[in-house]
């Protein structure tokens, strides 16, 4: 862990040179988007905040400089309300660094009011249909709802909006087409051809796991609908449908026509894979106080670590080792299984092996596109350096509570 700590401290030293750091990042980080939680300054303030908590060093003044930089973006007007690329993401990051809601309350109240107004308008016109842009963690209501859940004690006005989101998910679940994403609502043209009758997305980033996790987390934190436990029981049964699984585990997407089955192994990262399924099942078990369900989550975790997981070729969070590492660590803090702890040490070493002083931002985001391996220089939390360093910081913090307010909430794993 010493090597990891050295990298973390090196990045804090770099970010402390505010003018130099902002210039280098904005000019050289690929896919940089200053105001977004996924690819911008909100991720940086979360990293600095996590560092000051872990090492008990006051970085409030430095964090404030980066918040002012985000404020400049707000003054230009932000398009969208989503968690990963809109107002919810900015508010989420500022709320996390607000020192238990003692700072930045004026701006947070203002952003909350924007979101309340947005949800009121959305609910007045929204159709009951599964559409990732409306429902998921990244762009949709699951992500917005997770921010609101963090705000219910500081600003009780948001509770009604959170309840409205959960009611929408309940109504969607019990609707005729439930979580089926139609051909027209597929992201990609190739998926419109592939899933002519539609599909059910079983991932955490864009699929059913986001809404299911929000419903479980809300129950754990005391915000619930009428018959909430019954709803949690029904969505649990739904998740365990046999057609959603094969001999390897859960599919990433289930083809309604049952004509297309992926030939590839699903990567056990954040977007898709049994890691996200396992974390969601654990949350559902905790929310229902169902020991049998919690035990199932444990067994899935053990199954995951006994695979080689060699298709996780990038150290980054979205689809790589950092999320694999963080999700397993998140749940194993509850179980404390020695075999998992030993596996996590191996993954830590593997992540660190991707570091090079020659890399512009310590690590590359690595993807294979058309059989070509591509290396990207990214800083942002979702696909870049900051997400990796946050996962290392989280591992270092043995006192972290899986259900506390933290940067990990943005991924609906806590």
368 strand-pairing partners: 373
Nearest to 265 by CA among 298, 305, 300, 309: 309
Of 162-176, 207-221, 284-298, 360-374, the least confident = 360-374
pLDDT at residue 60, rounded to an integer:
96
Give the mean model confidence (pLDDT) for residues 65-90. 93
**φ/ψ (deg, to 5) at 365:** -90, 125
Q: How many CB atoms lie within 10 A of CB 45?
A: 28
130 strand-pairing partners: 181
Rounded CA-CA distance 21/15 in Å is: 5
pLDDT at residue 259, rounded to an integer:
80
Rounded CA-CA distance 326/336 in Å is: 14
Rounded CA-CA distance 43/33 in Å is: 11
Q: Is 34 exposed, middle or buried (0-12, 13-18, 19+ CB in 10 A)?
A: middle
Give the mean model confidence (pLDDT) for residues 320-329. 98
Give the mean model confidence (pLDDT) for residues 74-91. 92
pLDDT at residue 1, rounded to an integer:
62
Higher pLDDT, 242 or 402: 242
Q: Is the pLDDT of residue 260 over 80?
A: no
Q: Is the pLDDT of residue 108 over 70?
A: yes
Runs of H (alpha helix) within 128-222: 132-135, 141-151, 159-173, 189-194, 209-220
Band of residue 262 on the pLDDT scale cut at 50, 70, 90: confident
Q: Is 224 exposed, middle or buried (0-12, 13-18, 19+ CB in 10 A)?
A: middle
> Reduced to 3 states, what is the DSSP secondary structure of residue 37?
coil
> Reduced to 3 states, what is the DSSP secondary structure of residue 261?
coil
pLDDT at residue 100, rounded to an integer:
78
Q: Is the pLDDT of residue 229 over 80?
A: yes
Band of residue 159 on the pLDDT scale cut at 50, 70, 90: very high
CA distances from 261 to 160, 246, 264, 266, 304 (A): 41, 10, 9, 12, 21
Q: Is the pLDDT of residue 261 over 80?
A: no
pLDDT at residue 102, rounded to an integer:
83
What integer best gives the mean pLDDT of the chain?
95
**Domain containing residue 64:** 2-411
Q: Give exposure, 271-295, as e/b (b: 16+ Cβ within 10 Å).
A: bbbbbbbbbbbbbbbbbbebeebbe
Query: Which tokens in the block code for residue 161?
Result: 């909006």
Q: Is 338 exposed, middle or buried (0-12, 13-18, 19+ CB in 10 A)?
A: exposed
Q: Is the pLDDT of residue 241 over 90?
A: yes
Rounded CA-CA distance 281/202 in Å is: 13
Give the mean model confidence (pLDDT) for residues 375-392. 98
Which residue's structure tokens are 């948001």? 158
User: Judging by DSSP bridges, how do beta strands 372-376 and 365-369 pair with one another?
Assistant: antiparallel
Residues 1-52: pLDDT tens digits?
669 999 999 999 999 999 999 999 999 999 999 999 999 999 999 999 999 9
Instruction: Give the N- to C-terminal CA distance of the chain in Å, as an integer.
Output: 24
Q: Is the pLDDT of residue 224 over 70?
A: yes
Give the mean model confidence (pLDDT) for residues 321-343. 98
Percent of the chain, pLDDT > 90?
89
CA distances from 23 to 20, 62, 73, 93, 120 (A): 5, 16, 16, 21, 39
Percent of the chain, pLDDT > 70?
99
Rounded CA-CA distance 219/215 in Å is: 6
Give the mean model confidence (pLDDT) for residues 108-136. 95
Helices 41-55 and 385-396 meet at what angle, rounded to 10?
Answer: 20
- The count of structural domains within the chain is 1
201 strand-pairing partners: 253
Query: Which tokens in the block code for residue 300?
Result: 């899935």
Nearest to 203 by CA among 323, 295, 108, 316: 323
pLDDT at residue 370, rounded to an integer:
84
CA distances from 336 to 245, 329, 345 (A): 27, 9, 13
Q: Is the pLDDT of residue 216 over 70?
A: yes
CATH number at residue 22: 1.50.10.20
């Amino acid at each position: 862990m010493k090597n990891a700590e050295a990298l973390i401290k090196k990045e804090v030293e770099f970010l402390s040179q505010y003018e130099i750091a902002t210039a280098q990042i904005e000019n050289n980080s690929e896919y940089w988007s200053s105001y977004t939680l996924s690819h911008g300054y909100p991720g940086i303030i979360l990293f600095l905040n996590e560092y000051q908590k872990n090492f008990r060093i006051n970085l409030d003044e430095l964090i404030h400089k980066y918040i002012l930089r985000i404020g400049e973006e707000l003054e230009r007007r932000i398009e969208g309300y989503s968690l990963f690329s809109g107002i919810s993401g900015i508010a989420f990051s500022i709320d996390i660094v607000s020192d238990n809601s003692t700072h930045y309350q004026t701006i947070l109240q203002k952003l909350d009011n924007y979101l309340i107004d947005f949800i009121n308008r959305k609910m007045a016109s929204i159709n009951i249909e599964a559409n990732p842009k409306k429902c998921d963690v990244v762009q949709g209501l699951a992500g917005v709802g997770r921010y609101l859940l963090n705000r219910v004690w500081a600003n009780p006005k948001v509770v009604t909006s959170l309840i409205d989101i959960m009611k929408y998910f309940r109504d969607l679940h019990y609707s005729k087409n439930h979580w089926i994403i139609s051909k027209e609502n597929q992201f990609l043209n190739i998926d419109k051809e592939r899933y002519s009758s539609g599909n059910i997305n079983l991932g955490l980033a864009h699929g059913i796991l986001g809404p299911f996790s929000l419903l479980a987390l809300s129950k754990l934190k005391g915000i619930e609908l009428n018959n909430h436990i019954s709803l949690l029981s029904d969505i649990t049964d739904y998740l365990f449908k046999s057609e959603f699984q094969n001999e390897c585990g859960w599919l990433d997407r289930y083809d309604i026509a049952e004509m297309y089955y992926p030939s590839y192994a699903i990567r056990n990262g954040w977007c898709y894979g049994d890691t996200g399924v396992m974390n969601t099942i654990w949350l559902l078990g905790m929310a229902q106080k169902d020991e049998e369900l919690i035990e199932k989550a444990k067994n899935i975790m053990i199954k995951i670590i006994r695979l080689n997981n060699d298709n996780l070729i990038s150290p980054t969070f979205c689809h790589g080792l950092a999320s694999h590492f963080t999700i397993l660590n998140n749940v194993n803090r509850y179980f404390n299984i020695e075999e998992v702890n030993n596996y996590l040490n191996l993954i830590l070493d593997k992540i660190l092996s991707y570091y090079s002083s020659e890399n512009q931002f310590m690590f590359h985001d690595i993807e294979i596109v058309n059989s070509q391996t591509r290396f990207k220089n990214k800083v942002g939390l979702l696909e870049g350096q900051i997400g990796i360093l946050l996962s290392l910081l989280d591992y270092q913090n043995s006192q972290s509570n899986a259900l506390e307010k933290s940067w990990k909430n943005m991924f609906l794993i806590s």
